[in-house]
Chains A and B, each alone.
Chain A
Amino acid sequence: DAKTTQPPSMDCAEGRAANLPCNHSTISGNEYVYWYRQIHSQGPQYIIHGLKNNETNEMASLIITEDRKSSTLILPHATLRDTAVYYCIVSSGGSNYKLTFGKGTLLTVNP
Chain B
Amino acid sequence: GAVVSQHPSWVICKSGTSVKIECRSLDFQATTMFWYRQFPKQSLMLMATSNEGSKATYEQGVEKDKFLINHASLTLSTLTVTSAHPEDSSFYICSAGGTGREGYNEQFFGPGTRLTVL
Interface residue ranges, A against B (CB under 8 Å):
32, 34, 36, 38, 41-46, 49, 87, 94-104
Q: Which residues of B contact A44 (CB under 8 A)?
A: 44, 93, 95, 109
Interface centre among A45, A46, A104 (most CB of B within 10 A): A46
A29 to chain B, nearest CB (A): 17
B104 to chain A, nearest CB (A): 6
- Beta-carbon contacts of B72-112 to A below 8 Å, as 1s and 0s? 00000000000000000001010101100000111111111
Query: B97–A45 contact, CB under 8 A?
Result: no
- The reply to whether the CB of B46 lies closer than 8 angstroms to some CB of chain A is yes
Closest to B51 in A: A96
Query: B111–A101 contact, CB under 8 A?
Result: no
The 4 A-B pairs with the shortest beta carbon distances in the complex, nearest first, are: A95-B97, A43-B109, A96-B97, A96-B32
Cα–Cα, bound, A25→B110 (Å): 31
27 contacts between A and B (CB under 8 A): A32-B105, A34-B106, A36-B109, A41-B91, A41-B114, A42-B112, A43-B4, A43-B111, A43-B112, A44-B44, A45-B109, A46-B1, A46-B106, A46-B109, A95-B98, A95-B104, A95-B105, A95-B107, A96-B31, A97-B97, A98-B34, A98-B49, A99-B95, A99-B107, A101-B43, A101-B45, A104-B43
What's the interface size class on B, roughly?
20 to 34
Q: Which residues of A contact B34 (CB under 8 A)?
A: 98-99
Kindly identify which residue among B49, B91, B108 contacts A46, using a CB–CB cutoff of 8 Å. Answer: B108
Number of A-B contacts (CB under 8 A): 59
Closest to A42 in B: B111
Q: Which residues of B contact A98 (CB under 8 A)?
A: 34, 46, 49
Query: B44–A41 contact, CB under 8 A?
Result: no
Interface centre among A34, A46, A95, A102 (most CB of B within 10 A): A95
Kindly identify which residue among B31, B44, B106 contacts A49, using a CB–CB cutoff of 8 Å. Answer: B106
B11 to chain A, nearest CB (A): 15
Query: B44–A101 contact, CB under 8 A?
Result: yes
A54 to chain B, nearest CB (A): 17
A58 to chain B, nearest CB (A): 11
